[in-house]
Chain A
Amino acid sequence: MAAGVATWLPFARAAAVGWLPLAQQPLPPAPGVKASRGDEVLVVNVSGRRFETWKNTLDRYPDTLLGSSEKEFFYDADSGEYFFDRDPDMFRHVLNFYRTGRLHCPRQECIQAFDEELAFYGLVPELVGDCCLEEYRDRKKENAERLAEDEEAEQAGDGPALPAGSSLRQRLWRAFENPHTSTAALVFYYVTGFFIAVSVIANVVETIPCRGPARRPPREQPCGDRFPLAFFCMDTACVLIFTGEYLLRLFAAPSRCRFLRSVMSLIDVVAILPYYIGLFVPKNEDVSGAFVTLRVFRVFRIFKFSRHSQGLRILGYTLKSCASELGFLLFSLTMAIIIFATVMFYAEKGTNKTNFTSIPAAFWYTIVTMTTLGYGDMVPSTIAGKIFGSICSLSGVLVIALPVPVIVSNFSRIYHQNQRADKRRAQQKVRLARIRLAKSGTTNAFLQYKQNGGLEDSSSGEEQALCVRNRSAFEQQHHHLLHCLEKTTCHEFTDELTFSEALGAVSLGGRTSRSTSVSSQAVGPGSLLSSCCPRRAKRRAIRLANSTASVSRGSMQELDTLAGLRRSPAPQSRSSLNAKPHDSLDLNCDSRDFVAAIISIPTPPANTPDESQPSSPGGGGGASSTLRNSSLGTPCLLPETVKISSL
């Protein structure tokens, strides 16, 4: 449970006095309090440095090493203190967490060492307080990246070994993605690069005017028209190579849909399409204009170089991520252009033989002036025009020069900020998940406690399961409180699964009123769950077990993100089979007989003889559960297999 809640327990329990007059049944007796020693000072010796603290302080977080009974393993009876052979400087932060509820991250220490200490003392890294969380995560990420880079650099030397027997497809894809892995791939890489260069140069060269053959007026025509065959052959060769490469990539791609949608493949397609379209388009005058336009697209072949150049890719990504700033720049420029163009047009309207024939025509002047180009093809002649023209050029400097550095710094700031915002969103999700988990952990702690027969009379002392006895005093009292609430309202806490089943049972037209109908009704869901279909029961039980998160010690740590960090078994609920079937508790509630059927998978060892279905200990990792077999208060209809408990 979260910080300091233990301190408020007396208050919460006292406030339960308010329920008493409303309770329609007698409330359960309070758990017996062990000899209350009062608060005492514990001495924790960490590698020679002694820390002293109240016992209550450590008890605040019962699911950590210092707050639970695990610290008894480190107790030194001779000196009467708890000895830990760990770093005392780090321990200071851990102890401060107990005192203040916030875990701070030391600035000078290695983040890896800090993590190890946290893992040892049973604290999850999510507990790092807000003030230090960002820095902690940044440093951790840096560390991880550095390690990853080192690994990569190591690996890149030898090249990752492909599993033997990989298909041709996989080898081909790998050759395409990492050209340095084999000589063939390298050769292919350079050949394609060469042909891209050749194609681009050919496109450029075929427009250069070459001196034609001796004609009466020596006419200059572009080389492309002079040597059409040569250029056509070169073009064909390049396109053939590009087509071949594209088809090979398509074949080798692990996910063809994704490959088809990727930018690089689109560029490839755009690079080779014009040629094929040109092949099929007849060479008549009408469409040759369009055909000529198509040739423009051949310049896109230059973008194929981005596969060969890391820098181009980074630039592309930069522009993409900076798009909104660029958009804003464009927008503000457009506004300024329109304003000034309008003004210049109306200022120059009177002059005859003026270049400012319309506002769009004035756009050109405005753009050229604002970007300080000043071609001089359009010049204002009136005085007003000149005044506004100078204002235009001065403001142009401002309008352009101001956003550009802002964009540049914005880009760098926004880029990092976006990363941080994503991190924060992910953290938020994790945090909400943690809170939900802690909540469900508490809920399930109580439900688990009920399952394990914690609600029995404490008179049957020895037979009471170990799990019930091993709970901390705080948990005992908290569960007693929840039990009191149940009795006050004549309703029980259940989990979602049983609730939806009960809902279904009710909607099936059953009303829980008389005992006979109750038992037949009870068997209804019960039999569905259990004996008639033992396998289904197991499956359902698996689902149940998986849905109830592991309780107590493991509750805070069963986050998905921390899978594998610390799978501490829940000591309390492990060997938690009831020795005796759970006897029915008498309820004085007005003519209500309810049945709670909670079924789960047994874990070894099975003490009870009437335990049926000793299925293999299947249950989910931390969430151990027991197969509930308890006698019915009402006549038992399926004696040999499952008995449903009636509470």
Chain B
Amino acid sequence: MGAVMGTFSSLQTKQRRPSKDIAWWYYQYQRDKIEDELEMTMVCHRPEGLEQLEAQTNFTKRELQVLYRGFKNECPSGVVNEETFKQIYAQFFPHGDASMYAHYLFHAFDITQTGSVKFEDFVTALSILLRGTVHEKLRWTFNLYDINKDGYINKEEMMDIVKAIYDMMGKYTYPVLKEDTPRQHVDVFFQKMDKNKDGIVTLDEFLESCQEDDNIMRSLQLFQNVM
């Protein structure tokens, strides 16, 4: 009798429709729960007007338009979070691990430390980096290196940054990366930057040392024409 019932019921169930047994209902319930949570976190942010942004930054209207179109396409919700930063960087630097550098970068972009970067923050930072004065660029870089934002760069922070940059190179480099290469690099950097040899670099020391170095000054002009 059980067999008869079995074959009868099996004839009913189509292949495509999921059988509505208890497991299925439970799964649906879980899925709805997750969707509710997603609803709450979905934030839509709209930037201020185009004129305002144009006034605040050094971009023209057309450039802002192009930037925003790309930004909105990638992040329809209007904000970028750290994960996205890391993914973007991973695509640009597929050889190695770009996540740490992306992390520091994110915190340099996210001035207000809210955990997400809005279009205005994005465009403001880009404006400084691409169209700003030398002074502004160097100040931004100092802010990037100063991980805990206390106004000083110490050796540990520099070590972290340099290590993150070397991580982006990946494993297959020539010559082979040695263990103490980052440390050596940091020592060289501190020798150059730390004028009073007190182990930390302040903003003024940093600005002064960079302005003395021709290479750096020249390189700062490199990324001018990015748009």
Across-interface contacts of A1 in B (CB, < 8 A): 91
| Residues 355-413 of A contacting B (Cβ, < 8 Å) | 372, 397, 400-401, 404-409, 412-413
Taking a contact as CB atoms closer than 8 A, the residue among A36, A407, A439 that contacts B94 in the complex is A439
Give the residues in chain B near A498, CB-CB below 8 Å. Answer: 172, 174
Question: 1/0 per position for A432-443, CB-CB distance to B under 8 A?
Answer: 000000111011
A-B pair count, CB < 8 Å, reads: 197
A405 touches which one: B10, B15, B185 (CB < 8 A)? B10
CB of A409 within 8 A of CB of B13, answer yes
Q: In the complex, what residues of B have CB within 8 A of residue A22's CB? A: 161-162, 165, 185, 189
Interface string of B24-37 (1 = CB under 8 A from A): 00000000000000
Distance to closest chain B CB from A79 (angstroms): 26
Cβ-neighbour of B173 out of A5, A372, A482, A499 (below 8 A): A499
A85 to B70, CA, bound (A): 30
Chain A CB within 10 A, most for which of B65, B69, B173: B173
Say how far A556's CB is from chain B's closest CB, in angstroms: 14
Question: A409 and B10: CB pair below 8 A?
Answer: yes
Cβ contact within 8 Å between B66 and A4: no
How distant is the Cα of A492 from the Cα of B91 in the complex, in angstroms?
A: 18
A485: nearest residue on chain B (CB-CB)? B168
Judge if A491 is at the interface, Cβ distance under 8 Å.
yes
- Segment touching B, from A9-17, A193-201, A281-289: A9-17
**A19 contacts which of B74, B165, B215, B218 (Cβ < 8 Å)?**
B165
How distant is A485 from chain B, measured CB to nearest CB, in Å? 6
B220 and A11 form a contact (CB under 8 A): no
Chain A residues with Cβ below 8 Å from B108 are 18
Do A409 and B218 touch across chains, with their CB atoms under 8 A apart? no
Q: Which of A10, A15, A21, A36 contacts B67 (CB 8 A)?
A: A10
Q: Which of A23-31, A179-187, A308-316, A536-544 contacts B (4 or more CB under 8 A)?
A: A23-31
Contact residues in A for B216 (Cβ distance below 8 Å): 20-21, 23
Q: Which residues of A contact B193 (CB under 8 A)?
A: 21
Q: Is the CB of A2 within 8 A of B91?
A: yes
Q: In the complex, A39 Cα to B67 Cα: how many Å?
A: 11
Contact B227–A10 (Cβ < 8 Å): yes
A13: which of B166, B171, B223 is its contact (CB, 8 Å)? B223
Chain B residues near A491: list those with CB within 8 A: 166, 169, 173-175, 177, 181
Query: Do B2 and A499 touch across chains, with their CB atoms under 8 A apart?
Result: no
Q: Does residue B176 face the partner (Cβ distance < 8 Å to A)?
A: yes
Number of chain B residues whose Cβ lies closer than 8 Å to a Cβ of chain A: 75
Q: Which chain B residue lies CB-closest to A495?
A: B172
B60-102 contact mask (Cβ, 8 Å, vs A): 1 or 0: 0010011101110110000000000000110111110000000
A550 at the interface (CB under 8 A from B): no
Residue A502, interface by CB 8 Å: yes
B88 to chain A minimum Cβ distance, whole angstroms, is: 5
Interface residues in B98-141 (C-beta closer than 8 Å to A): 105, 108, 122, 125-126, 129-130, 137-138, 140-141
In the bound complex, CA of A416 to CA of B16 (Å):
10
Q: Which residue of B lies closest to A482 (CB)?
A: B93
Set B70, B93, B140, B145: member contacting A56, Cβ < 8 A: B70
B175 and A14 contacting across the interface, CB-CB below 8 Å: no
Per the bound structure, the CA–CA distance linking A506 and B216 in Å amounts to: 33
| A300 beta carbon closer than 8 Å to chain B | no
Known: A5-B88, A412-B13. A27 touches B222 (CB 8 A): yes
Contact A493 B70, beta carbon cutoff 8 Å: no
Bound together, the chains give a CA A10 to CA B6 distance in angstroms of 64
Q: Is the CB of B173 within 8 A of A494?
A: yes
Q: Are A408 and B175 in contact (CB under 8 A)?
A: no
Instruction: Name the B residues within 8 Å of A29 (CB-CB).
Output: 222
Q: Does A155 contact B (CB under 8 A)?
A: no
Complex contact A404–B174 (CB within 8 A): no
Q: How far is the CB of B54 from chain A (nearest CB, A)?
A: 16
**Among the listed A17, A397, A408, A481, which residue makes an inter-chain contact with B6, where contact means beta carbons less than 8 Å apart?**
A408
Whose C-beta in chain B lies nearest to the C-beta of A477?
B226
The interface residues of chain B lying within 8 Å CB-to-CB of A13 are 223, 226
Q: How far is the CA of A440 from the CA of B170 in the complex (A)?
A: 13
A-B contact pairs, 21 of them (CB 8 A): A7-B71, A11-B126, A15-B105, A17-B140, A21-B141, A23-B216, A38-B62, A39-B62, A39-B66, A54-B69, A404-B2, A405-B8, A409-B19, A413-B13, A491-B174, A491-B181, A493-B95, A496-B172, A499-B174, A502-B176, A594-B175
Q: Give the 6 A-B residue pairs with the shortest CB-CB distance, closest first.
A: A7-B70, A14-B129, A401-B2, A404-B6, A439-B94, A408-B10
Binding site for A on B (CB under 8 A): 1-3, 5-10, 13, 15, 18-19, 21, 62, 65-67, 69-71, 73-74, 88-89, 91-95, 105, 108, 122, 125-126, 129-130, 137-138, 140-141, 144-145, 161-162, 165-166, 168-177, 181, 185, 188-189, 193, 206, 210, 215-216, 218-220, 222-227
